[in-house]
């Protein structure tokens, strides 16, 4: 226990002796992990909004006029049983007419056409895919279904949304990895400078019989502490910034949602803290491995 106390005491002493260098390392880790955690949080915001937008993506199956009410109910039940379908609801001719009147409220010519032909618009089934990528299969199945006159979907918009979602996810992870590597390198450089500043003291300790690991451990603890402090600051900064964004940007359109589940923030925040500690240990280990004073 005495040795453990000594090792932690030395680590804290190292932090105090090289306060400016340590502060620079903590700030560097803070910046790197802030960008990393911010990237992860922004990626979650994009994912949440993509799912929200996907809820509005529907395939419209226009029904033939001679389809009976019983056949319509059977068709709705059949479509809702498909594994690719999350939800399906029926829109009658009257509901389609009311919807069109609202949609074309600024188009007098179209309104006249609708008033002269109130039965112009057919009844339809609005189908929501379980996953936006399933829309193509749903369209194919609906086109071959008896009683369906025509099928419409925002195919190009859905493909663009899927491509945007996948592209942003890849970009976020690549950026997070790059910033993580930068954090490790910055800690390694800081520990290297600390070892160089104490090289004479380290050599004296080795001459009086101190083992390499006894000398190394305070530097490992120092790196872990730097990573932990930098990670904690990064988590606090992003969480506060996200909450402020939700509060201050409450007037954003309904289709933009900046809110994130607290469980996600807690889980990812804990991972950032763990990564900060691991980054500190890895950076310290790399620095110790290349420093000739502490080579085994």
Dump pLDDT digits (tens) for 53-65. 656 567 888 888 8
More confident residue, 273 or 25: 273
Dump pLDDT digits (tens) for 78-97. 888 888 888 888 888 888 78
pLDDT of residue 109 exceeding 60: yes
DSSP assignment of the chain equals: -HHHHHHHHHHHHHHHHTHHHHHHHHHHHHHHHHHHHHHHHHHHHHHHHHHHHHHT--EEEEEPTT--HHHHHHHHHHHHTSTTEEEEEEE-HHHHHHHHHHHTTT-HHHHHHHHH-TT-SPPEEEEEESSGGGHHHHHHHHHTSTTEEEEE--HHHHHHHHHHHHHHHHHHHHHHHHHHHHHHHHHHHHHHHHHHHTHHHHHHHHHTT--HHHHHHHHHHHHHHHHHHHHHHHHHHHHHHHHHHHHHTTTS-TT------HHHHHHHHHHHHHHHHHHHHHHHHHHHHH-GGG--
Q: What is the pLDDT of residue 233?
A: 93
pTM over 0.75? The answer is no
Task: Give the range among 7-21, 33-47, 133-147, 178-192 with minimum mean pLDDT.
Answer: 7-21
Percent of the chain with pLDDT over 70: 74
Dump pLDDT digits (tens) for 235-260. 999 888 888 877 776 666 555 667 77
Q: What is the pLDDT of residue 73?
A: 87
Q: What is the mean pLDDT of residues 68-77?
A: 87
More confident residue, 110 or 292: 110
């Amino acid at each position: 226990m005495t040795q453990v106390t000594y090792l932690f005491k030395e680590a804290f002493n190292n932090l105090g002796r090289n306060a400016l260098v340590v502060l620079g390392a903590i700030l560097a880790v803070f910046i790197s992990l802030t960008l990393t955690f911010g990237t992860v949080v922004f990626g979650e915001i994009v994912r949440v909004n993509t799912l929200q937008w996907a809820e509005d993506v529907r395939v419209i199956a226009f029904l033939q006029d001679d389809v009976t009410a019983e056949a319509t109910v059977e068709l709705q039940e059949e479509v809702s049983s498909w594994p690719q379908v999350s939800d399906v609801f029926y829109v009658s001719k009257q509901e389609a007419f009311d919807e069109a009147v609202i949609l074309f409220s600024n188009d007098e010519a179209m309104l006249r056409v609708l008033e002269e032909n109130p039965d112009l618009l057919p009844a339809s089934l609005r189908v929501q895919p379980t996953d936006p990528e399933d829309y193509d299969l749903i369209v194919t199945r609906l086109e071959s279904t008896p009683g369906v006159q025509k099928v419409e979907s925002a195919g190009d918009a859905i493909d663009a949304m899927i491509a945007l979602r996948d592209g942003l996810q890849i970009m976020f992870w690549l950026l997070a990895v790059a910033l993580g590597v930068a954090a490790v390198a910055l800690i390694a450089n800081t520990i290297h400078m600390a070892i160089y500043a104490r090289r004479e003291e380290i050599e004296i300790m080795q001459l009086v019989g101190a083992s390499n690991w006894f000398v190394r451990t305070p530097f490992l603890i120092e790196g872990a502490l730097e990573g932990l402090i930098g990670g904690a600051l990064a988590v606090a900064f992003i969480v506060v910034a996200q909450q402020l964004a939700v509060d201050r940007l409450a007037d954003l359109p309904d289709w933009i949602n900046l809110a994130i589940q607290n469980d996600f923030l807690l889980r990812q925040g804990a991972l950032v803290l763990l990564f900060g500690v691991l980054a500190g240990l890895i950076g310290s280990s790399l620095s110790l491995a290349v420093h000739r004073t502490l080579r085994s």
